Amino acid sequence: MTLDETRPGQAFTVLSIADEMARLQAIRFGIAEGARAICQTVLPGGPVVVRKGKQEMALGRSLAHRIQVQPVEG
Amino acid sequence: MAQECCEPQVEAVHEGDRRVVLAGNPNVGKSAVFHGLTGVYVEVSNYPGTTVDISSGRLGDMVVYDTPGVYGISQFNEEERVAREVILQADVVVNVVDAAHLDRDLFLTLQLLDMGFPAVVALNMMDEAKANGLAIDVAALSEALGVEVIPMVATRGQGIEKLREAIGRARPGRITPALQKLLPQVTPAADALLIAEDDEDACRRHGMAVPGTREEVYRLRRERADEITAKVVRETTEGASLSVRLGRLSLHPLWGSLMLIAVMVAVYYILAVGVAQWVVGITEEEWMGGYYIPWITALGSRMLNPDSFLGKGLFGEFGLLTMTVSYILGLLLPMVLGFYLILSFMEDSGYLPRVAVLVDRWMNKVGLNGRAIIPTILGFGCVTMATMSTRLMGSQRERTIASFLLSLAIPCSAQLAVIAAMLAPLGAGYFVLFGLILFLVYGAAGALLNRVLPGESTPLLIDLPPLRWPNLANMLRKTFLKSKMFLFEAGPIFAAGSLLISAMDAWGILDRLQQGLAPITEGWLGLPRAAANAFIMGFVRRDFGAAGLYDLSLTAHQTMVALMTITLFVPCIASVMILLKERGRKEGALIWVADLVLAIFTGGLLHRILLVF
């Protein structure tokens, strides 16, 4: 599934990020491919907020749609 | 802001002075560490050719530089380019790290160590880490990095003394082991790393082709940062502190929106009611109008013939010593101070990135992402400065859209003050109507541009710092600095404009322009002929235009039409100059003409619609 389809509270592993700049930036933030994170909030029609540890970041809806994730149990 | 006025006034560097550079992610308390190290004598200046400011101060025989907060050293945006330039000159790097977000921050730490700089890590915000249930093994972290790690709470001065001592013992740390095979054989070590990270400048300097290994280097570094974090950070409780929970609430679909509305209403009351009416009422009407202007006019008439060219230019209606001084000190200064204070508060409290998230969806409609909220807010302060700040945007496409919308539909603080003062007697309904029309024009113009411009805009991707109560001293420092720079830039242009208008008045050019524009002002917009005067003054400075309408005793209907036309009309001469410089002559001129046509068209349309009601 893609990141924009996750629901708040859903844990997932990042499989791929189909945007080079976003991929590099995500590595810096610590949410690289292979990282495990949790969907924190989804703003209606807007960005997805994800959390990894104490780190929170927001991704625009169109970017979230280009990120493949694998849901994992809690 | 204009660059000429702000040559980098960094502390005089003597031969042999060691350069200590502070580097760290945004919002990690770098300026608190900087001020703790250097004390009160600090120079702040714009980095040449940018909107980014750099502070410098002294620590014994060392010069300390503060850099903009970045997540890594590359050239992704203007702030990174400046940080990179300053860091590359460093003898010692003090890396300020947020203890509560170690995994994120270690990416930059490891990058600095991989570049071979002698370094010390200032592990700041230990109190926040503790409040969030994190325990950090400082000795193990120091061992893993190969440099000294000083735990601190910089806002309370804890650890500053230890950090000061440790700077003298700074040494290069451990380089990411797996990286060795990717590094080319060049010196200095920093260049070798930059080349491995596809840095075009470094590759050109050493006559090498871009190797295309950046992503691999990034991945290796991220792996090591995660390993170190796993080893040294222990979660003692699952607890999230109040500020973290409040931060999450601020992005809740319902509560977050309500919070944003509450913040906007509060900002409106502080600026439009508190400052524009109450403070300006005292400074401009009582102090300037009641004491200063009568005094200076009387003084002037004793020295010069008030009807002479010089007399008019200095003491007349638009005089340099009368109107210019009164507007700058009575009207502009309080507005600018109030505006920057609020922006500093939003920035330092961590609320600004949350606003970006909340508005992202709507900004997408005009081809921008949520980060465009920063130039937009800045635009309400000064469109000239905001246009320059569009450099932080991800693509040329976004810069074009943002520059156009700023010049068209965002009134600057000087203009807002006049708009607020002129609409206030008409009642709240007119405020709402005015805001609504401006919003519609903004949305329609942006949506149209988003449709016709080729390419795609960059998506939102930002880090959300925890909400925290900002440091008052930092906020005030930023406010005074920015206001000072603004007034130094605005003052001369304002004065030149005032002289120009006086000269045009004396030579009868004003009358002739008024005649020439009569079909538009009287026929199409339904305004008195003298309103053209205000429009022409709008060329000189945006707020001049609106201010010129004060004296015309317009009806409510005419006030709306005139204010709307002038708001959309042309930005001030300074913003046009910046527009031409930033967007190129062709695009800049096109934007300017589009502003003119849209302003007159919308004004006339509004006149006709209001006639019906």
Tens-digit pLDDT profile for residues B469-497: 888 888 898 888 878 876 776 677 667 76
Go through chain B and tell me how many residues it has.
613
Which residues in chain A are closer than 8 Å to B222, comparing Cβ atoms? 27-28, 30, 32
| Per-residue model confidence as pLDDT tens digits over B219-255 | 999 999 999 999 999 988 766 678 888 888 899 888 9
Sign of the C-alpha dihedral computed for residues B403, B407, B410 and B411 taken in this order: positive
Shortest distance, CA B564 to any CA of chain A (angstroms)? 31
Query: pLDDT for B145-171, tens place per residue?
Result: 999 999 999 989 999 999 999 999 999
Note whether B360 contacts A32, CB cutoff 8 Å. Answer: no
Give CA–CA dist B254/B173, Å, rounded. 47
Q: Testing the interface with B: which of A4, A28, A61 to mutate, by most B Cβ within 10 A?
A: A28
Q: Is the pLDDT of residue B383 over 70?
A: yes
Residue numbers in A near B83 (CB within 8 A)? none
Q: Measure the CA–CA gap between B127 and B135, rounded to whole angstroms.
A: 10
Output the pLDDT for position B50: 64
Question: What is this model's ipTM?
Answer: 0.95
B351 to chain A, closest Cα gap in Å? 13
The minimum CA-CA distance between A13 and chain B, rounded to whole Å, is: 15
B-chain residues near A41 (CB < 8 A): 248, 251-253
Q: How far is A48 from chain B (nearest CA, A)?
A: 9
Interface test with A, best of B111, B134, B213, B222 (most A CBs within 10 A): B222
Q: Tell me, what's the pLDDT at B87?
A: 95
Which of A22, A56, A63 is opposite residue B464, by nearest beta carbon? A56
Percent of chain B with pLDDT over 70: 92
Give A62's contacts in chain B (Cβ within 8 Å): 364, 459
Cβ within 8 Å, pair B364-A26: no
Asked if residues B518 and B532 have their Cβ atoms less than 8 Å apart, the reply is: yes
| Terminal alpha carbon distance of chain B | 43
Nearest to A49 among B214, B364, B464 (CB): B464
- B40, pLDDT greater than 50: yes
Q: What is the pLDDT of residue B570?
A: 65
The two tokens of residue B219 are 């991945």
A49:B104 CB<8 A: no
Do A57 and B356 make contact, defined as CB atoms within 8 angstroms?
Answer: no
In this prediction, residue B192 carries a pLDDT of: 94
Give the C-alpha distances (Å, rounded to integers) separating B314 from B279, B371, B541: 26, 44, 18
Name the helix (H) or strand (E) containing A14.
Answer: strand A11-17
Strongest mean pLDDT among B216-225, B250-259, B342-351, B377-386: B216-225
B261 — pLDDT class (breaks 50, 70, 90): very high
Chain B contact set for A67 (CB, 8 A): none
Q: Which of B335, B301, B332, B338 is nearest to B316 (CA)?
A: B301
pLDDT of res. B544: 59
CA pair distance B353, B374, nearest whole angstrom? 9
CA distance B112 to B95: 8
Nearest residue in A to B75, CA atom: A21
Q: With contact defined as beta carbons under 8 Å apart, do B247 and B353 qualify?
A: no
Please tell me the pTM assigned to this model: 0.83
- Closest-CA residue in chain A for B395? A21
Quick one: pLDDT at residue B542? Answer: 52
Mean pLDDT, residues B588-609: 93
* Cβ(B191)–Cβ(B202) below 8 Å: yes
Decide: B122 and B96 in contact? Cβ < 8 Å.
yes
> Three-state SS for B123?
strand
Among B104, B247, B353, whose Cβ lies nearest the Cβ of A55? B104
| Band (B410; pLDDT cuts 50, 70, 90) | very high
User: Residue B543: its pLDDT value, please?
Assistant: 55
Range with lowest mean pLDDT among B4-13, B435-444, B510-519: B4-13
Identify whether the C-beta of residue B143 lies closer than 8 Å to the C-beta of residue B115: no
**CB contact (8 A) between residue B370 and residue A47:** yes
Query: What pLDDT shows up at residue B8?
Result: 41
What is the chain B residue with the closest CA to A66? B459
Tell me phi and psi for residue A52, to 5 degrees.
-130, 110
Q: What is the pLDDT of residues B269-307, one digit of tens each?
A: 888 788 877 898 899 889 998 999 999 999 988 888 888
Torsion from C-alpha of B554, B556, B560, B566, nearest 10 degrees: 20
For residue range B320-338, what is the model confidence (pLDDT) as tens digits?
888 788 878 887 788 778 8
Q: Is the peptide bond before B188 cis (omega within 30 degrees of 0)?
A: yes
Contact residues, chain B, for A57 at CB < 8 Å: 461-464
Q: State how far residue B93 is from chain A, nearest Cα, in angstroms.
A: 19
What was the pLDDT predicted at B382? 74
Which 8-state DSSP code applies to residue B365?
H
Angle at B360 between CA B392 and CA B70, to 5 degrees: 35
pLDDT for B264 beyond 50: yes
DSSP secondary structure, B216-275, as one string: HHHHHHHHHHHHHHHHHEEE------HHHHHHHHTTSTTHHHHHHHHHHHHHHIIIIIII
Are B461 and A61 in contact (CB < 8 Å)?
no
For B465, which residue in chain A has the nearest alpha carbon? A56
